[in-house]
Amino acid sequence: MENARLVVGLGNPGSDYARTRHNAGFLLAETLADRWQAVWRMDEGLRVRLARSDREGLRCWLAEPMTYMNCSGTAVAAMMRYYRVSPEGLMVLVDDADLPLGELRMRPHGGAGGHHGLESVTEHLGTSDYARLRLGIGRQPEAGREIAAHVLGRFSRDEATLFAKVLERAADAVTCWLESGIVTAMNRFNGAVVAPATKES
């Protein structure tokens, strides 16, 4: 369907993972749903949480796969077949530990960069030619490549304050992609979100 768009936030379902860094994609999808007043519902057949919002003449679905991060591609591929969305109409929202906290990076295609959710999507679609928006969550330098505890942990208070701003700017970026295309969205929104100023004691 030429006017169909699918915006998929990647994450892990369940209370143990709620609001963790690895669920940044879920958090952005939920920010968009709140902004667009889109109502979530479960689709057990597709194994996704879905919300629909028609915007600028486009039929747009927000989605959160309930398959766990490493198997996200099964749900994404099923949704694209069912709703007849082309790869050009897909935007995947993910966390990225290789980007500093607060950094946004939208791209029209590319590699997975070690992100297992993107690896699964690419495998099941048979292509990496789909847009993705990476939300930087940073890493702890002393941990080296052992980042599981960091990505599955929750934001500190200061990090959460900054990330709330990140989510608002990222929601603007996705909206711009829908309305004006990916080149405009990249030019306007890629880069760092500045941390809020703190009051001196």
109 catalytic? Reply is no
pLDDT band per the 50, 70, 90 thresholds, residue 5: very high
- From the candidates 22, 116, 124, 150, give the one annotated as an active-site residue: 22
Check residue 57 and give its pLDDT: 87
In a domain, 62, yes or no: yes
In a domain, 200, yes or no: no
Could you read off the pLDDT of 14-70 as tens digits, one per residue? 999 999 999 999 999 999 999 999 999 999 999 999 999 998 789 999 999 999 999
Check residue 126 and give its pLDDT: 97
Could you read off the pLDDT of 182-195 as tens digits, one per residue? 999 999 999 999 87
User: In 3D, which of 103, 100, 111 has the Cα closest to residue 92?
Assistant: 111
| Residue, of 78 and 200, whose pLDDT is higher | 78
In a domain, 136, yes or no: yes
How many other β-carbons are positioned within 10 Å of the β-carbon of residue 116?
17
Number of folded domains that form the chain: 1
In a domain, 8, yes or no: yes
In a domain, 151, yes or no: yes
In a domain, 197, yes or no: no
Give the span between the Cα atoms of 54 and 42, in whole angstroms: 19
The 10 Å CB-count burial string (b at 16+, else e) for 18-50 is eebbbbbbbbbbbbbbeebebeeeeeeebbbbb
Check residue 149 and give its pLDDT: 85
Could you read off the pLDDT of 89-133 as tens digits, one per residue? 999 999 999 999 999 999 999 999 999 999 999 999 999 999 999
In a domain, 41, yes or no: yes
Alpha helix positions (H), 62-128: 72-83, 116-125
Distance, first Cα to last Cα, the chain:
56
pLDDT band per the 50, 70, 90 thresholds, residue 147: confident
State the DSSP string of 12-81. --STTTTTBGGGHHHHHHHHHHHHHTPPPEEETTTTEEEEEEEETTEEEEEEEESS-GGGHHHHHHHHHH
**Structural Rg of the chain based on CA atoms:** 16
Q: Return the CATH number at 24.
A: 3.40.50.1470
60 close to 52: Cβ distance less than 8 angstroms: yes
In a domain, 36, yes or no: yes
> For residue 141, is pLDDT > 70?
no
Check residue 201 and give its pLDDT: 41
Domain containing 111 equals 4-192
Could you read off the pLDDT of 70-83 as tens digits, one per residue? 999 999 999 999 99
pTM over 0.85? The answer is yes
Check residue 12 and give its pLDDT: 97
Check residue 198 and give its pLDDT: 58
